[in-house]
């Protein structure tokens, strides 16, 4: 979920005046950055690099998930593992499309491509939330499974 407080850098207890000032400052900073061609190119490049790095991390996470799902004894938690594997595969495909879009965006930018980029970014953020949730579930299930296997060996 989008955190408005952290975006504006204010406390949940902030007064309306403080929130307005933070908003004005945020918008002014964004405007100043985007109207300066040099700073804008640097910003665009950093965004591209960030998403390329994120894609690489998710590809590695997907490989690890595939390894876990395919190279272990099957048990009662397989459905959740396969669901998470599917989510990560979908995320990797979305991120691949995002990278293609990022590479296609010219330095000056085009509004239509920017809209597509923003849409893909929101989709990736949405899927990242699901992957994080699934990864936590997998970790918990893996711990429970290891405990059950240990109990079974000790019995």
Give the chain's length. 155
58: region left, alpha or beta (phi > 0 left; psi from -120 to 50 alpha): alpha
In a domain, 81, yes or no: yes
Whether residues 31 and 50 fall in one domain: no
Structural contact between residues 92 and 127, judged by C-beta atoms closer than 8 angstroms = no
What is the model's pLDDT at position 69? 62
3-state secondary structure the chain: CCCHHHHHCCCCCCCHHHHHHHHHHHHHHHHHHHHCHHHHHHHHHHHHHHHHHHHHHHHHHHHHHHHHHHCCCCCCCHHHHHHHHHHHHHHHHHHHHHHHHHHHCCCCCCHHHHHHHHHHHHHHHHHHHHHHHHHHHHHHHHHHHHHHHHHHHHC
Whether residues 147 and 82 fall in one domain: yes
Whether residues 83 and 16 fall in one domain: no
Question: Domain containing 93: what range?
Answer: 45-154
Whether residues 18 and 51 fall in one domain: no
Whether residues 112 and 146 fall in one domain: yes
Whether residues 20 and 60 fall in one domain: no
Residues lower than pLDDT 70 in the chain: 1-2, 65-66, 68-82, 85, 102-112
In a domain, 40, yes or no: no
In a domain, 31, yes or no: yes
Q: How many domains does the chain have?
A: 2
What is the model's pLDDT at position 31? 93
What pLDDT, in 10s, does the model give residues 44-66? 888 877 777 777 777 777 777 66
């Amino acid at each position: 979920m989008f955190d408005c407080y952290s975006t504006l850098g204010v406390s949940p207890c902030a007064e309306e005046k403080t929130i307005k000032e933070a908003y004005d400052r945020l918008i002014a900073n964004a405007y100043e950055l985007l109207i300066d061609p040099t700073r804008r190119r640097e910003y665009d490049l950093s965004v591209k690099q960030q998403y390329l790095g994120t894609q690489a991390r998710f590809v590695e996470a997907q490989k690890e998930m595939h390894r876990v799902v395919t190279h272990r004894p099957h048990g009662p938690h397989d459905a959740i593992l396969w669901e998470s594997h599917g989510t990560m595969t979908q995320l990797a495909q979305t991120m691949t499309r995002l990278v293609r879009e990022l590479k296609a965006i010219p330095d000056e930018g085009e509004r239509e491509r920017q809209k597509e980029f923003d849409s893909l970014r929101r989709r990736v953020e949405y899927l990242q939330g699901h992957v994080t949730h699934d990864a936590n579930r997998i970790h918990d299930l893996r711990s429970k499974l290891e405990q059950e296997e240990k109990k079974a060996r000790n019995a």
